[in-house]
Chain A
Amino acid sequence: GAVVSQHPSWVICKSGTSVKIECRSLDFQATTMFWYRQFPKQSLMLMATSNEGSKATYEQGVEKDKFLINHASLTLSTLTVTSAHPEDSSFYICSARTGAAKEKLFFGSGTQLSVL
């Protein structure tokens, strides 16, 4: 299957700081990437849809000024958690779809964010 690389795998930061998470499609071009958040023992919740060269589309209840998404190229999307607080601690996962694979999503390895 397609390979999606996500970095960092885990990050610990102080409250009030910003954290950037990178998601790269390694062997295909991804015009669309999706960012999910998962709290312990809960399902993946879609945060936003990232489109190359345009603004991201955020799901209801997700603060676009807090979770900044940039999709500057066909292989890279970034999620920046600004002014992080302990309640932002979660597992963040990006995913991408290849054009030929209908709606199949391939996931990055995820980033565990812990805000102290």
Chain B
Amino acid sequence: QKEVEQNSGPLSVPEGAIASLNCTYSDRGSQSFFWYRQYSGKSPELIMSIYSNGDKEDGRFTAQLNKASQYVSLLIRDSQPSDSATYLCAAGVSGGYNKLIFGAGTRLAVHP
């Protein structure tokens, strides 16, 4: 059973701080990884994608991938109250014709 694990949270950080979200995956063959943000009652919104080991930065967001450790993380710098949402980690299924497996999500709360 291919799985993606996330701490459900809530992760509470003060406004302006760095929020660090973590994810592990079981499928060693996964080659693509994504972070989605989901507000309550809404559908997920793609924030970051990462395919290679190392860091990828986009604005206030940095995704980190370590395939040897099967670990993906998302850093949010200068956290804002509007960043408060559930963050879903997803991994592409190897040989899965573009299917993604999602983690249960980490709820982030940024307080003023």
Contact residues, A66-115 vs B (CB, 8 A): 91, 93, 97, 102-110, 112
Q: Closest B residue to A34 by CB, please name it.
A: B99
| Partner of B104 from A32, A43, A49, A104 at Cβ < 8 Å | A43
Interface contact A44-B99, CB-CB below 8 Å: no
What total of chain A residues lie within 8 Å of the partner, measured CB to CB? Answer: 25
Interface contact B104-A112, CB-CB below 8 Å: no
Pick from A42, A43, A104, A105 the residue with the most CB of B within 10 Å.
Answer: A43
Question: CB-CB < 8 A to A93: which residues of B?
Answer: 43-44
Pick from B51, B92, B99, B101 the residue with the most CB of A within 10 Å.
Answer: B99
Q: B1-34 vs A: 1/0 string, CB under 8 Å?
A: 0001000100000000000000000000000101
- CA of A105 to CA of B102 in the docked complex: distance in angstroms? 12
- CA of A79 to CA of B99 in the docked complex: distance in angstroms? 18
Question: CB-CB < 8 A to A46: which residues of B?
Answer: 99-101
Question: CB-CB < 8 A to A104: which residues of B?
Answer: 34, 46, 49
- CA of A106 to CA of B51 in the docked complex: distance in angstroms? 17
Interface contact B45-A107, CB-CB below 8 Å: yes
Contact residues, B13-72 vs A (CB, 8 A): 32, 34, 36, 41-46, 49, 51
What is the CB-to-nearest-CB distance from A48 to chain B, in angstroms, rounded to a whole number? 10
Question: Which A positions have Cβ atoms within 8 angstroms of B?
Answer: 1, 6, 32, 34, 36, 41-46, 49, 91, 93, 97, 102-110, 112
